[in-house]
Amino acid sequence: DVLDPDRLIQCPYNKHHRIRACRFPYHLVKCRKNYPEVAKELATCPFNARHLVPQADLSDHITKCNDKGFIEQDIVNQSSGFQREQMNAVSTWQAPPCDEDWET
C-alpha cells in the first residue's frame, strides 16, 4: 500500500538501506550528508522531493512521475478558483477625500 507509513523504501544513496516510509524524508537528509559523491549524481524530482533519480534519467522520470498529476490538478483547481473569485468579487473600495489642491 502506497499510503502505509510502515512500508519499506530503498534508499537512493545506499541500496542496502531499507527505511520505513514515515522516516524516509529524515533518512534522505542524513544519507545525503554521508554520501556526498552519490548525492552529486542524483537529481530531485520537481513534483516530489522524495524521488531522487540519476541526473541523466530526470527528464524521463518527469514525464512518467505519478505525482505530476497531483500538481497539475492543484494548478487547475487554483486557477479555476481564482477565476471564480475574480468573477464574484465586487470592489467596495472608495478613494478617501483629498483636501490637497495641487494647482495652488
The residue extents of the domains of the chain are 8-65
The owner of cell 510502515 is 6
Within 8 A by CB and 6+ apart from 35, the residues are 13, 14
Using alpha carbons, select from 26, 28, 16, 20 the residue that is nearest to residue 53: 28
- Judge contact between 9 and 21, C-beta under 8 A: yes
Using alpha carbons, select from 47, 2, 52 the residue that is nearest to residue 25: 52
Q: Supply the pLDDT for residue 89.
A: 65
Q: Supply the pLDDT for residue 99.
A: 82
Q: Supply the pLDDT for residue 41.
A: 96
SS3 97: coil
Q: Supply the pLDDT for residue 49.
A: 92
Q: Supply the pLDDT for residue 2.
A: 78
Mean pLDDT by 10 residues, the chain (104 residues): 90 96 96 96 94 96 88 77 62 80 78
Strands 42-44 and 52-54: antiparallel
In whole angstroms, what is the distance from residue 101 CA to residue 36 CA?
67
Q: Supply the pLDDT for residue 68.
A: 86
CB count in 10 Å sphere of residue 83: 10
* pTM for the whole structure: 0.65
